[in-house]
Structure 1
Amino acid sequence: MNSMEWDSIRIFLAVAEHGSMSAAAQVVGMSQPTVSRQILALEERTGLHLFERSTSGLKLTPVGRQLLESAKDTALGAERFSRQVNGSSIEESGNVRLAVSELFGFHFLPDALAAFHRMHPLINVELIVSNEKVNLNKRDADISICQQKPEQPDLVVTYLMSRSLGFFAHESYIDDVGYPKTPDDIYRAPHSVIGFDNSNMYINEAEKSGRNLTKNQFTFRTDSYQMQLNLIQAQAGVAVTIAEVAKKTAGLIEMFEDIPLPNIAWWLVCHRDVQVNPRIHHLMVFLREWFQKQDEKL
């Protein structure tokens, strides 16, 4: 397969999955006219009509749908080849891409990475700091640190650490609106609650303790722990957040310490095809041992 054929398959997949030339162009990193020309060239070369054009977008024709699964298999094979090539590298210098969420990256990771660099100065760490999920199958990253434990059989998953949650507010906020007598009071005026947007974790845990909450009871909604922490600091309201981080933040006080809340766990993940790569292996082992020692200090 030459590079032109592989580009055509990549573009065909992107258009099929996103339904427009412009969206596909963003995914494959090309201009919209280039994507359009590639699709037209593919149809001319194969003699097949692959897409139906309409005002609502592009849809696969019956023959296009037949080719879609083969194109997906080809893409998966290319991704597997890339992972295995990178995973088989014996170089102990070079880059490792590590994906972490905002709060973990800001508050727990810097000291660990500084120590790792002192031990492995020839390994460079590229950080992806985002609350969006990364696809390790597609090599979005070499290693991911995530809160939800992945279940895919082709991933190597290791427990990293856990931290407790707590109710927190700024002392000036409490001085202004008063100390709530019970957790239920924070959902009534004059209090404001900082909660999650897409995540239902807080609501689901509240249901286990007999409290029926809805997102409409949250004055501010964000899935970013870091943004929640910033809102607490700005005296915007009360939030359930990671206790260790909040206790290190000036002006924040913990409430209802006698009420049990779940711990938040993080998992260290890589694809099994790359775990033997020395650079990736060194960082995986170091992070696991580093955070194990941090847990032992608590």
Structure 2
Amino acid sequence: MDQLDWNQLRAFLHTAEAGSLSEAARRLGLTQPTLSRQVAAIEKRLGVSLFERIGRSLQPTSTGLALLEHARSMGAAAQELSLAASGHAQAVDGVVSISASDMVAACLLPAVLQTLAERAPGLRIEVVTTNSLSDLRRREADIALRHVRPSEPELIGRLLREASASFYASKDWIRRHGHPRRAEEAAALRFVGSDRSGRYLDYLRAHGLPVGEHNFCAYAENATTAWALVRQGLGIGAMMDEVAASCPDVQRVLDEVPPVRFPIWLLTHRELHTARRIRLVFDLLAEALASPAVLSPSGRQP
């Protein structure tokens, strides 16, 4: 088989990442019919279907996903070659997307991104705030911060550290209701929950708290919102200890319940890590988040 035409491969890559021919054509400065012909040509050359239509979008087939990783690697290499040829190999610019939970995004990332802006002013960072596990294989993000060990073999990850979380209430709530310390006291307390499906209830029970649905006064899936409800005095909630330490209006309760320990993993795709801009952001995040942050009362690193 002849070598693949780079223009055809690039058409496939941008269509896969954009999810539509029209958007990919706009990004490449081509007409949609021209781009469509290039995609059809690479499918004919390979003898496979690379896309399937789902609703109004195009999604790579399993064969397309396998080819996509190689196309991204070639795209990153082409960009590096272009930079070197133009004498700007050390220039780092472009967009890097980082996926993180809402609380990590709000409290831990801002100071890191400020440092990054000073080191590489040409970079533009997109923060993808989500409490779900972003699928790096489909480029929902270039880099992800997760609290579970990665299972995908095509990802590379670095365990930054173990963090801890405990139960907290506002000082005003404690003045009104007392300071509960033992797990069995939870049966008579009000909590701010994260969902109505029973997942958070199971989480509390797994940590020895004898609670039921009647113990919840409010729910908020968004952790930043749930924490605001706790600080307002609605009830007890769990929070990362280093974040809670920056809030003078809250205090740890249920002190005899051991803190929850959880990992902080930094992940990227094996192929993406070869891109200079992603490698720079990955290494800086690893350096900055490897130890507990010292946050100001506003929730930001001083």
**Fold match, TM over 0.5?**
yes
Equivalent in the alignment of 2:162: 162
1:112-123 equivalent positions in 2, closer than 5 A: 112-123=112-123
- RMSD value over aligned CA atoms? 3.1
Q: Report the residue type matching 1:177 in the other structure.
A: H
The alignment status of 1:4 with 2:3, answered yes or no, reads: no
Q: Which moved more, 1:150-159 or 1:115-124?
A: 115-124
Indicate the SS of the match to 1:140: coil
> How much does 1:295 deviate?
6.8
Report the CA distance shift for 1:293/1:210 in structure 2 as closer, same or farther (over 3 A).
Answer: closer
Equivalent in the alignment of 1:54: none
Report the CA distance shift for 1:219/1:106 in structure 2 as closer, same or farther (over 3 A).
Answer: same
Q: Report the residue type matching 1:243 in the other structure.
A: D
Report the CA distance shift for 1:237/1:263 in structure 2 as closer, same or farther (over 3 A).
Answer: same
Equivalent in the alignment of 2:109: 109
Quick one: distance in 1 between partners of 2:229 and 2:165?
17
Q: Report the residue type matching 2:144 in the other structure.
A: S
**Match 2:258 to one of 257, 260, 266:** 260
Q: Report the residue type matching 1:289 in the other structure.
A: E
Q: Are the equivalent residues in 2 in contact too, given 1:193–1:218 (CA < 8 A)?
A: yes
Q: Report the residue type matching 2:125 in the other structure.
A: V
1:16-55 equivalent positions in 2, closer than 5 A: 24-25=55-56, 27=57
The alignment status of 1:291 with 2:257, answered yes or no, reads: no
Report the CA distance shift for 1:112/1:178 in structure 2 as closer, same or farther (over 3 A).
Answer: same
Q: Report the residue type matching 1:4 in the other structure.
A: S
Q: Are the equivalent residues in 1 in contact too, given 2:161–2:290 (CA < 8 A)?
A: yes
Q: Report the residue type matching 1:262 in the other structure.
A: V
Report the CA distance shift for 1:214/1:3 in structure 2 as closer, same or farther (over 3 A).
Answer: farther
Equivalent in the alignment of 2:191: 193
Equivalent in the alignment of 2:220: 222
The alignment status of 1:135 with 2:135, answered yes or no, reads: yes
The alignment status of 1:245 with 2:267, answered yes or no, reads: no
Per-residue displacement from partner, 1:168-189 (whole Å, max 9, x unpaired)?
101111222333353332332x
Q: Which moved more, 1:91-100 or 1:111-120?
A: 91-100
Report the CA distance shift for 1:137/1:163 in structure 2 as closer, same or farther (over 3 A).
Answer: same
**Match 1:235 to one of 233, 246, 255:** 233
Q: Are the equivalent residues in 2 in contact too, given 1:84–1:273 (CA < 8 A)?
A: yes
Per-residue displacement from partner, 1:184-208 (whole Å, max 9, x unpaired)?
32332xx31113325846734643x
Q: Report the residue type matching 2:259 in the other structure.
A: L
Quick one: distance in 2 between partners of 1:115 and 1:123?
12
Structure 1 regions of 5+ residues with no counterpart? 15-23, 30-70
> How much does 1:11 deviate?
7.4
Q: Are the equivalent residues in 2 in contact too, given 1:166–1:242 (CA < 8 A)?
A: yes
Matched pairs, number: 243
Q: Report the residue type matching 1:72 in the other structure.
A: T
Quick one: distance in 1 between partners of 2:115 and 2:144?
19
Report the CA distance shift for 1:214/1:4 in structure 2 as closer, same or farther (over 3 A).
Answer: farther
Indicate the SS of the match to 2:271: coil
Indicate the SS of the match to 2:273: coil
Quick one: distance in 2 between partners of 1:151 and 1:205?
26
1:58-69 equivalent positions in 2, closer than 5 A: none
Quick one: distance in 1 between partners of 2:120 and 2:130?
25
Equivalent in the alignment of 1:203: 202
Indicate the SS of the match to 2:285: helix
Equivalent in the alignment of 1:36: none
Equivalent in the alignment of 1:18: none
Q: Report the residue type matching 2:287 in the other structure.
A: E
Quick one: distance in 1 between partners of 2:102 and 2:271?
27
Equivalent in the alignment of 1:66: none
